[in-house]
Amino acid sequence: MTAPAIELKGISKAFGPVQANKDISIRVMPGTIHGIIGENGAGKSTLMSILYGFYKADAGEVFISGQKTEIPDSQAAIAAGIGMVFQHFKLVENFTVLENIILGAEDGGLLKPSLSKARKTLLELEKEYDLKVDPDAVIEQIGVGMQQRVEILKALYRQANILTLDEPTGVLTPAEADQLFRILGRLKEEGKTIILITHKLREIMDITDTVSVMRRGEMTATVKTAETSPEELAELMVGRKVLLRVDKEPATPGDVVLDVKNLKVVDDQGVERLRGIDLQVRAGEILGIAGVAGNGQSELLEVLGGYEDATGTVTLNGAPIDLTGKYSDGRSRRDRGIAHVPEDRQREGLIMDFAAWENTAFGYHRDAAYTSGLLSNNAAIKADTAEKMERFDVRPPHPHLAAKNFSGGNQQKIVLAREIERNPDLLLIGQPTRGVDIGAIEFIHQQIVALRDQGKAILLVSVELEEILGLADRVAVMFDGQIMGERLTTETDEKELGLLMAGITDTDKPHTIAEIEANLAQAHGNPHKEI
Amino acid sequence: MDVMPKWAEVILVPLISLILAALLSALVILAIGENPVEAVNLMVTGAVGSTYGWGYTLYYATNFMFTGLAVSVAFHAGLFNIGGEGQAMLGGLGVALVLLFIPWPHWTIALLAATAGAAVFGALWAAIPAYLQAKRGSHIVITTIMFNFIAAAVLNYMLVNQLRPAGSMDPATERFREAVHLPSLHEMLAPIGINFSKAAPANVSLVIAIIACVLVWLLIWRTPLGLEIRSYGKSGRAAKYAGIGAVRITMIAMLISGALAGMMAINNVMGEAERLVLNAVEGTGFIGIAVALMGRSHPFGVFLAAILFGFLYQGGAELALWTSIPRELIVVIQALVILFTGALDNMVRMPLERIFLAVRTARASKSVGPAE
């Protein structure tokens, strides 16, 4: 039997009180695609950082092709044949592809020989693995898909035999993701070993040979992909049975609640982030906004939430809303019956150092129920918080605990409880389940559907197509600050939406991946903007 | 869960820092050939060994409470107000103008008016840097520091060219009227049978300072405005999301901060000197930063830290008086306290957190029972 390409034995790593990795052992056979799946915070990224020499494990050993190997830093990892493609690319934006590839791997003091050698190698690699890139293109002018291929080429140029990819499809359209998987399949055929870290069950099922499941820092199982199912994997990730699809009746839309016409936003650099948005949300329906991150969805939420100035007209129940000036702030919006669960709950929706009860009042802290005279009625807020925590099953149910001490899912429940229980006419909700454990996703989706069934209008922004297709009744696709098209979720699929996400509106015709990429590269958006 | 229980965070960390600072100070005293035990003895008897000593300690502490609170309120809004010095100088000018030009019948009304005058002048002096920060993005640290120098120049001009009595060689105002004399602790405590030192400058301003501590506590932790100030200080984006205006909070926090710093003048100008002199503030504005740091920006912490620094000031003065330990060394000791309690906070915190963590893990594994 051949030795595993990588074997980890008993890896443990703690950060202060948090045990990020606990006695992890894993064997990855050469020439296979090995998936590592787990929820946010399960310890996947920590494990990979240890493998790449970013962290030093507290205990445990690493074997590469049967040889015990010490990896004190990334140089050692590269020398051992390990390549890493991070979720956020590590490319110099204003360098060319070629320059990025040799960066840190130059031979000698002169650049020219390195560059021409790299050009030659690059052509060979391109042929061998079908990895098309233009060596002289500048990074900031190429699309995300191509940037990712540059990252893969960087690793291959450094003779990586083991390629690790961390959440590689997060910023890709479905067509680009398919393209990436074809490349990974090709790399596998050529004998490379691939480790794919993801939280998407479908990707695991589609392309991996074996899959390891992580939960709370521990490796709970390693199974052959062919012998498992998404349901079983989800159960292994969460520790109990979960419902993977959203249970809901067809919507019965009523009157128009939110009416947006010709909405435009120009950012500080003078770039137009929203380029004339028109949309409507009716009572009792969920409108999903799909799109690759950074195409204007965040700006749309910020404008509607009242903290970004814009031009155009927005009406709520027929009455106009101020888009600039004194009455264009979060407080005025709340007064008008617009609740907002922001995309970034840790920096916007919550104040992490504040107790849960303070966060429950946050934004509504001047409400008559929460004040008595000049003072805050802290007792009333705390009582209200305890009730909300119970209704939304926030664990642990302690109003005095600081927000930072709750898990991502429970933090989101605190925000949701605050916003939904105000009984708003319109709920804006961004990335409702990002960084939320699968168990809590189910509950959050139920709450959103329940609000819809009460006849409220809901605007949902998510970069997870699956979530939009499952939760929304209608979907509008944004690309480069514009809406490319609207579909009923019952009458569309990922493929069609994927084309719209790339700015292609004639979705009936066939389109090449090159065409899709060229289109995406032209967009002004920055999918790597941290939200 | 937080790593440390709250009592350890609030009491243990500053206490250990303080002990470390004291030990290092002892080494320095040893190094220059003096006896540290004797030095501590002198400081303690000098600062708290008599009502005279207490009178000075509390007098200094009153100043530090005002400037410490000033820095704390700005801290909560994420603003670093280094201009306490200048705001206190202007506060002094406010007190002097109120008391010199209006013939107050009784000290009580005069104190209220002087407090208002001090607060308004201090707040106005903070308003300009605050406005520049809020509207133009000029960094408040830079502008408040510059405003300290401008304040000194303004005071110089006012005292030398405007307020100095004709014929006087001293750049100071004339004495305030006898009617506005503030009762000292001696006068306040005599009716209840306590014989407090007559010579010590501590006065009724101490009561105002304590009231200010309580009011600031109420403001920060018990009002919606306090929540807004703290939210803005923790996360500008979250404040924006909630509809809390950055300009509004910056202005309000700095106005309150400046007013508190200015109010120090009722103690040193109205209570002690009873006239406005050129260098009335003597660095108290800067000590306020250390007091706020050590007091964790909490009014009760500021209260305790102010008394500690009052002790260091008075004890240090006694030390300089009775030993050959030079005055500069007192500054070194004060600096060590600031260094350990403020800047080197993590040096104490990290090992402590580790100890608490180890204890908790040990306890947890015991309660669960041995693993199989």
pLDDT digits (tens, 9 = 90+) for A92-110: 989 999 999 998 888 878 8
| Chain A residues touching B360 at Cβ < 8 A | 17
Give me the half-sphere count of Cα atoms (radius 13 Å) on the Cβ side of residue A124: 9
pLDDT digits (tens, 9 = 90+) for A31-47: 999 999 988 778 888 89
- Identify the bridge partners of residue A24 per DSSP, sorted by sequence position: A11
Structure tokens at A38: 């787990």
Cα(A133)–Cα(A154) distance, integer angstroms: 12
pTM of the complete model: 0.86
Neighbouring C-beta atoms of residue A319, cutoff 10 Å: 7
pLDDT of B310 > 90? The answer is: yes
Q: Give the list of residues 6+ apart from residue B14 with CB closer than 8 angstroms, or none.
A: B294, B296, B301, B341
Q: Give the list of residues 6+ apart from residue B88 with CB closer than 8 angstroms, or none.
A: B66, B67, B122, B261, B262, B264, B265, B280, B281, B284, B285
Q: Do A499 and A264 form a contact (C-beta atoms < 8 A)?
A: no
Neighbouring C-beta atoms of residue A523, cutoff 10 Å: 21
pLDDT value for A19: 83
Cα(A410)–Cα(A385) distance, integer angstroms: 13
Q: Which amino acid is at A135?
A: P
* Nearest in space to A333 (alpha carbons), one of A298, A364, A292, A378: A364
pLDDT value for A530: 42
Give me the half-sphere count of Cα atoms (radius 13 Å) on the Cβ side of residue A105: 20
Structure tokens at B290: 């250390």
More confident residue, B356 or A500: A500
pLDDT digits (tens, 9 = 90+) for A273-284: 999 999 999 999
The domains of chain B are located at 58-306
What does the DSSP assignment read for B319-350? Answer: HHHHSS--HHHHHHHHHHHHIIIIITHHHHHH
* Nearest in space to A495 (alpha carbons), one of A481, A508, A478, A480: A508
What's the mean pLDDT in A6-14? 92
Q: Do A253 and A283 form a contact (C-beta atoms < 8 A)?
A: yes
Q: In this structure, is the dihedral angle defined by the CA atoms of residues A91, A95, A98 and A104, taken in order, positive or negative?
A: negative
Q: Is A475 helix (H, G, I), strand (E, B) or coil?
A: strand
Q: Do A363 and B353 touch (CB under 8 A)?
A: no
The chain A residue lying nearest B353, using CA atoms, is A16
Read off the pLDDT band of A1 (50, 70, 90).
low
The chain A residue lying nearest B361, using CA atoms, is A17
Residue A405: which of B1, B240, B241 has the nearest Cβ? B1
Of all residues in chain A, what percent carry a pLDDT higher than 70?
98
pLDDT digits (tens, 9 = 90+) for A179-227: 899 999 999 998 999 999 988 888 899 999 999 999 888 999 999 999 9
Structure tokens at A302: 């910020």
- Identify the bridge partners of residue A340 per DSSP, sorted by sequence position: A428
CB pairs under 8 A between A and B: 80
Of all residues in chain A, what percent carry a pLDDT higher than 90?
63
Most distant CA pair in chain A: distance in Å? Answer: 78
pLDDT value for B366: 61
pLDDT of A267 > 90? The answer is: no
Q: Do A350 and B238 touch (CB under 8 A)?
A: yes
Distance from CA of A147 to the nearest CA of B (A): 30
Is residue B370 less than 8 Å (CB to CB) from chain A?
no
Q: Do A349 and B222 touch (CB under 8 A)?
A: no
| CATH fold for the domain made of B58-306 | ABC transporter involved in vitamin B12 uptake, BtuC (1.10.3470)
Q: Do A306 and B242 touch (CB under 8 A)?
A: no
Is residue B240 less than 8 Å (CB to CB) from chain A?
yes
| Chain A residues touching B353 at Cβ < 8 A | 16
Q: What ipTM goes with this model? A: 0.86
Structure tokens at A119: 């050009």
Cα(A52)–Cα(A75) distance, integer angstroms: 9
pLDDT value for B3: 64
Q: Do A344 and B237 touch (CB under 8 A)?
A: yes
Q: Do B45 and B53 form a contact (C-beta atoms < 8 A)?
A: yes
Q: What are phi and psi of A276, to 5 degrees?
A: 85, 70
Cα(A77)–Cα(A199) distance, integer angstroms: 25
Cα(B35)–Cα(A435) distance, integer angstroms: 61
pLDDT value for A524: 60
Structure tokens at B40: 């501590």
* Nearest in space to A131 (alpha carbons), one of A116, A160, A151: A151
Is residue B372 less than 8 Å (CB to CB) from chain A?
no
Burial class (CB in 10 A: 0-12, 13-18, 19+), B240: buried
Q: Do A376 and B224 touch (CB under 8 A)?
A: yes
Q: Do A459 and A287 form a contact (C-beta atoms < 8 A)?
A: yes
Q: Do A271 and A524 form a contact (C-beta atoms < 8 A)?
A: yes
Q: Is the peptide bond before A396 cis (omega within 30 degrees of 0)?
A: yes
What's the mean pLDDT in B294-301? 91
Torsion on CA atoms A394, A400, A401, A407, rounded to nearest 10: 20
Structure tokens at A434: 């990002």
- The average confidence (pLDDT) of chain A is 90
Write the DSSP symbol of residue B362.
Answer: H
pLDDT digits (tens, 9 = 90+) for A114-126: 889 889 998 888 8
Which of B214, B227, B352, B365 would you mutate first to test chain A, the one with the most A CBs within 10 A? B227
Which of A58, A333, A365 would you mutate first to test chain B, the one with the most B CBs within 10 A? A365
| Chain A residues touching B243 at Cβ < 8 A | 306-307, 329-334, 363
Q: Do A354 and B234 touch (CB under 8 A)?
A: yes
Is residue A358 less than 8 Å (CB to CB) from chain B?
yes
User: What number of H helices and E strands is found in chain B?
Assistant: 17, 0
CA angle A53, A55, A57 (to 5 degrees): 100
Give me the half-sphere count of Cα atoms (radius 13 Å) on the Cβ side of residue A394: 31
Q: Do B184 and B198 form a contact (C-beta atoms < 8 A)?
A: yes
Q: Do A158 and A192 form a contact (C-beta atoms < 8 A)?
A: no
pLDDT digits (tens, 9 = 90+) for A442-489: 899 999 999 999 999 999 999 889 899 999 999 999 999 999 999 999
pLDDT value for B1: 46
The chain B residue lying nearest A331, using CA atoms, is B243
Domains of chain A in start order, with CATH, are 6-238 (3.40.50.300), 245-337+424-531 (3.40.50.300), 347-423 (no CATH)
pLDDT value for A529: 47
User: What residues 290-309 of chain A have any CB closer than 8 A to a CB of chain B?
Assistant: 305-307
